[in-house]
């Protein structure tokens, strides 16, 4: 994935608790005006492993080595074009703004990385939240930023829109938090790299209760699900979004899914039900060979699509149990 040249911080621990002393005075809302799990999705958390490995704050796999903030993504560059607002997670004064970098998805090559060296955040806004706290949002859409240095903002003030500027392999906003120059994980309120916790989720969090309720749904989600008449791949999905529903006929009937944060060994179980109510296809993908930040797969049969209402479904199966399940009814025109 990518590294960000952004920083975050934590206050001194309160006596005997390990919770920052100013906790009650500083709360964060979500930095997006979209619905998590429907039109935007949690992609990655800070890496709490101090070593060369990676672990999210909950001892899961939704992080990569060196990552220092929360990433909330949209499905594709088509969503960027439609516009999804990024909002201030807390009140404060705008400390700095950048708004001139282009929106383009970078690859994993050294050349791609070098092209954004020193400006990995892309277009973004830094907010001084007082008492040494700062928040920063990155990868905003060029030309979308609505604030300037010195402006006072409240929680919920629109700052700009989700984009793909800087070191972005997918369209998203990156939220980082700091206090007095030290990186902080907003989920746990602990210093980034201080180790994950298998205890109660969001203990010591900086997020307000509404944000916690939303973020507690987990990081694995079905980003997209649909019907197609030809193979579907991630490279096109992340740029164009899901393909339009094909008309009846053709040479194949295919169900496709785009899923994030799979664990090694997870499988995708697909089902297709024809318009007459009969099972058309059931089958599973091979187990993934490693943790996957995002993964696309498709399955189906070499038979024409019949007109009428189809039902497609996918389950994410982990250690023999379904952890996420989604279904869609899709009308195929004759």
pLDDT digits (tens, 9 = 90+) for 125-167: 999 999 999 999 999 999 999 999 999 999 999 999 999 999 9
pLDDT digit string, tens, across residues 231-258: 999 999 999 999 999 999 999 999 999 9
For 193-205, what is the mean pLDDT? 94
In 3D space, the residue among 240, 241, 264, 105 whose CA is nearest the CA of residue 172 turns out to be: 105
Please answer whether residues 144 and 87 qualify as being in contact, where contact means their C-beta atoms are separated by less than 8 angstroms: no
CA gap 33, 63 in Å, rounded: 23
In 3D space, the residue among 150, 140, 146 whose CA is nearest the CA of residue 96 turns out to be: 150
Mean predicted lDDT score pLDDT of the chain = 92
Q: Which domains are seen in the chain, by residue range?
A: 23-215 (2.70.70.10), 221-332 (2.60.40.10)
For 23-47, what is the mean pLDDT? 92
Predicted pLDDT of residue 25: 74
Q: What is the pTM of this model?
A: 0.90
């Amino acid at each position: 994935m990518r590294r960000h040249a952004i920083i975050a911080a934590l206050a001194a621990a309160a006596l005997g608790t390990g919770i920052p002393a100013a906790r009650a005075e500083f709360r964060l809302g979500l930095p997006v005006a979209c619905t998590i799990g429907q039109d935007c999705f949690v992609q990655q958390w800070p890496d709490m492993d101090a070593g060369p490995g990676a672990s999210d704050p909950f001892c899961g796999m939704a992080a990569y080595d060196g990552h220092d903030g929360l990433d909330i993504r949209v499905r594709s560059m088509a969503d960027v074009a439609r516009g999804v607002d990024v909002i201030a997670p807390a009140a404060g004064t705008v400390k700095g703004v950048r708004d001139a970098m282009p929106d383009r998805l970078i690859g994993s090559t050294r050349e791609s990385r070098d092209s954004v060296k020193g400006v990995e955040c892309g277009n973004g806004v830094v907010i001084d939240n007082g008492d040494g706290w700062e928040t920063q949002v990155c990868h905003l859409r060029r030309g979308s930023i609505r604030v300037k240095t010195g402006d006072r903002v409240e929680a919920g003030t629109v700052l700009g829109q989700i984009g793909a500027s800087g070191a972005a392999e997918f369209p998203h906003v990156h939220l980082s938090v700091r206090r007095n120059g030290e990186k902080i994980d907003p989920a746990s309120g602990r210093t980034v790299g201080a180790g994950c916790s298998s205890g109660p989720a969001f203990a010591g969090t900086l997020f307000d209760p509404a944000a916690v309720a939303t973020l507690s749904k987990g990081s694995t989600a079905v980003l997209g699900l649909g019907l197609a008449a030809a193979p579907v791949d991630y490279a096109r999905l992340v740029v164009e979004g899901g393909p339009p529903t094909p008309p009846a006929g053709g040479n194949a009937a295919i169900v496709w899914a785009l899923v994030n944060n799979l664990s090694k060994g997870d499988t995708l179980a697909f089902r297709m039900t024809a318009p007459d109510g009969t099972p058309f296809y059931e089958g599973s993908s091979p187990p993934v060979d490693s943790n996957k930040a995002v993964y696309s797969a498709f399955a189906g049969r070499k038979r024409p699509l019949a007109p009428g209402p189809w039902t497609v479904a996918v389950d994410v199966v982990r250690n023999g149990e379904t952890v996420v399940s989604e279904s869609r009814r899709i009308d195929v025109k004759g």
